[in-house]
Amino acid sequence: MQADYVIIGSGSAGATMAYRLSEAGKRVVVIEQGGSDAGPFIQMPAALSYPMNMGIYDWGFQSEPEPHLGGRRLATPRGKVIGGSSSINGMVYVRGHAKDFDTWEEMGAQGWSYADVLPYFQRMETWHGGGDANGADASYRGTSGPLHISRGPRHNPLFDAFIAAGKEAGYPTTADYNGAQQEGFGAMEATIYKGRRWSAANAYLRPALKTGRVELVRAFAKRVVIENGRAVGVEIRRGGQDEVIRASAEVIVAASSINSPKILMLSGIGDAAHLSEHGIPVVAHRPGVGQNLQDHLEIYMQFAAAQPVTLYKYWNLWGKAIIGAQWLFTKTGLGASNQFEACAFIRTREGIEYPDIEYHFLPIAVRYDGKAAAGGHGFQVHVGPMRSKSRGAVSLRSANPMDAPKILFNYMSHPDDWDEFRRCIRLTREVFDQPAMKPFVKSEIQPGLALQSDAELDAFLKEHVESAYHPCGTCRMGRADDPMAVVDPECRVIGVEGLRVADSSIFPQVTNGNLNGPSIMTGEKAADHILGRRLPKSNLQPVMAENWQTRQR
C-alpha cells in the first residue's frame, strides 16, 4: 500500500488533516485502531457519560499513583474509535483565549499567535449563534466550515439563573466567549448539529473518505519506520500480522498527547538514556518527548435544589427511555443537548490579565462516569484553574508497543495549584449566594459549608479533584534550537526528515478551556504547513478587562 501521506490517528487533528490534504488532491492513508462510531451511545449528545467509560471506545489509560493526591490513580480516557476523543468527549467547544496563542508564540511557536490561528478557527467553523448571541460580533466567527457549532436551548431556568448570579456578583456577561470577549458568564457552545454529536469523524473524516483519495486502515500503529534519518512509513499490526504502510511524502503522527510521544519513543525519538534503558536504538535524541505533560483538574461543586427543576426527574430507566426514544425518532429533546448550556470564564484575583478559571454548569448533580452523587434534585458546576504550573510526563513502560505507556501528571505538585483551587471554591460559593440563585439553592452538598479553612478545603481537594480530560504538551512545539522542543513551528519533528506531529501534544501550554477546538485548529493549520500555504493573519483584537491590574471583577 502506498500513499503520499500516512496519518496515525483519526481524531480531532488527524481527521482534519486527512480532509484538507485530500481536498488538495493528495492520497492519504489514515491508521486507526478503533472501530465504528455508529449507534446512540456516541451520536446522542446526552449519552456522553457512556462512551468515555466503554472499553470498546476508550484506550482505558490511567495515571500512575499521583503523589500529591494520596496515591490516587486518575482515569485518562482517550478515544479509540473513528473521530478519536472528539467521539467520546463532552462536546464542549472552546477555542481558548487569544492570549493563549500569543503566549505560544512567546514560547517559541513562531506563527501561532492569535492573529495567525484565528483565520483557521474561522475556516473550520459553521457557527449557529442563534438569537441569544445578540451583541456578539459575528466577524470573529466562521460561517462555512465543516465543524458545526451550536448553543443549547437553555430551557431549564437554572442556566439563566447561573448567568444572572454571575452578573449580580459583579462579573461581566459575554455574548460569545469564543468571539471578541472570553471573560464573563454566558451561553456555552457545543459541537452538536441537528441534534447529533458533530465529531471530527462526522465533520471531516466521512467527507474525506468520500473523495476516494483517503483510505482508512483499521490497525494498531507500532512505530514509524525511519530509514537514513527519514520517515518512510508506519509499521502496523493488523489481524495478528505486522506490515508496513509506506508514505512517499510524509508520516504524520496525530495519535493524542498520550500515544504520540509513545510512538515517537518506540521509533527511536526521545531521551537517549530512556530509550537505551528499553533497548531502543536512538534515531534522534529529543529529551522533550513525553515531557511537559499538562492537564486541567476540576471539582464538581454540588448543590441540593430547592425546586424540582433539575434533570433528576429523568434519572431512572423510564425517564431515560423516553428521552432516548424522542431522540432516536426526532433528534430533538433533552437527548439532543450535552446539558452544558451555561458557562463562565473569570479571573481569580487582580493582576491576572485574562481568565484563569472555567465554569461548566450542569442542571443535575452527577459524576462524569454517570454515577449519581446526589439523591434527589441537585445541580452542579465544574470548576478548576486553567493554567496549573504542575508538569508531568509520559514515558515507556517497556519496548513492547502493546503495553500502555506510563502517565504521571504530577497533579497539584505546585503550591499555587492549591491556592487557586481554594479561590475557585470561595468564589463559586459567592456566586451561588446571589439573589438569582437563592430560589433554587437549598444547600451545598459538596464540598459542604462545614469545610471552610484552608486545611479543610485542601483535604477535600486531595480526595475529590478529577481530571477534566485535557492532557496536552508532550511533544512541545518550539524553536528548532530549543533542546526541549520536539517539533518546530511547522510541526516537523526536529532531527528527522519527513515526519510531523500535529495534535494536542504539540501545545506549548494548555489553552483556556476544552481542547477539542484547538486540536482541530491544529489539524487545519498543520495541513496548510504541509501544503506550503498559509492563510493571511487576522487584525481582529480580543476585548480584555480594562482594570485587570487592580481589579478582580
Report the phi/psi class of residue 60: left, alpha or beta, with left for phi > 0 and alpha for psi in -120 to 50: left
Rg of the chain's alpha carbons, rounded to an integer?
A: 22
Read off the amino acid at residue 503: D
- Mode of pairing for the β-strands spanning 378-385 and 441-446: unpaired
What's the domain range around 354?
153-187+297-385+413-464
Mark which of 430, 464, 498 sits at the end of a domain: 464
Inform me whether the pLDDT recorded for 346 exceeds 70: yes
What's the mean per-residue pLDDT of the chain? 96
Task: Note whether 260 and 157 are same-domain residues.
Answer: no
Task: Note whether 379 and 522 are same-domain residues.
Answer: no
With cell 504538551, the residue in question is: 473
pLDDT tens-digit series, residues 167-192: 999 999 999 999 999 999 999 999 99
Which residues are marked as active site?
470
Task: Note whether 355 and 223 are same-domain residues.
Answer: no
Query: How far is Cα 308 from Cα 438, in angstroms, rounded to an integer?
Result: 14
Query: How far is Cα 344 from Cα 164, in angstroms, rounded to an integer?
Result: 11
Which residue numbers belong to the known binding site?
81, 89-92
Inform me whether the pLDDT recorded for 370 exceeds 70: no
Residue 134 has a CB neighbour count (10 Å cut-off) of 9
Task: Note whether 61 and 133 are same-domain residues.
Answer: yes
Q: How many domains does the chain have?
A: 2
Task: Note whether 480 and 460 are same-domain residues.
Answer: no
Query: How far is Cα 338 from Cα 465, in angstroms, rounded to an integer?
Result: 22
Inform me whether the pLDDT recorded for 165 exceeds 90: yes
User: Whole-prediction pTM value?
Assistant: 0.98
**CATH code for the domain of 455:** 3.30.410.40
**CATH code for the domain of 258:** 3.50.50.60
Task: Note whether 179 and 236 are same-domain residues.
Answer: no
Which residue numbers belong to the known binding site for FAD?
81, 89-92
Q: Burial code of 273-285, b = ≥16 C-beta within 10 A, e = fewer?
A: ebbeeeebeebbe
Inform me whether the pLDDT recorded for 2 exceeds 80: no
Q: Is residue 547 part of a domain?
A: no
Task: Note whether 362 and 437 are same-domain residues.
Answer: yes
H-state helical runs in 1-97: 12-23, 40-43
Q: Is residue 49 part of a domain?
A: yes
Q: Is residue 369 part of a domain?
A: yes
Three-class SS state of 511: coil
Task: Note whether 9 and 32 are same-domain residues.
Answer: yes
Task: Note whether 164 and 281 are same-domain residues.
Answer: no
Task: Note whether 526 and 458 are same-domain residues.
Answer: no
Query: How far is Cα 474 from Cα 259, in angstroms, rounded to an integer?
Result: 10
Q: What angle do CA 319, 322, 326 make, to 5 degrees?
A: 145
pLDDT tens-digit series, residues 401-450: 999 999 999 999 999 999 999 999 999 999 999 999 999 999 999 999 99
Q: Is residue 421 part of a domain?
A: yes
Secondary structure element (H or E) that encloses residue 517, with its range: helix 516-531
Among the listed residues 123, 164, 159, the one whose alpha carbon sits nearest the alpha carbon of residue 16: 123
Task: Note whether 267 and 301 are same-domain residues.
Answer: no
Among the listed residues 112, 109, 108, the one whose alpha carbon sits nearest the alpha carbon of residue 96: 112
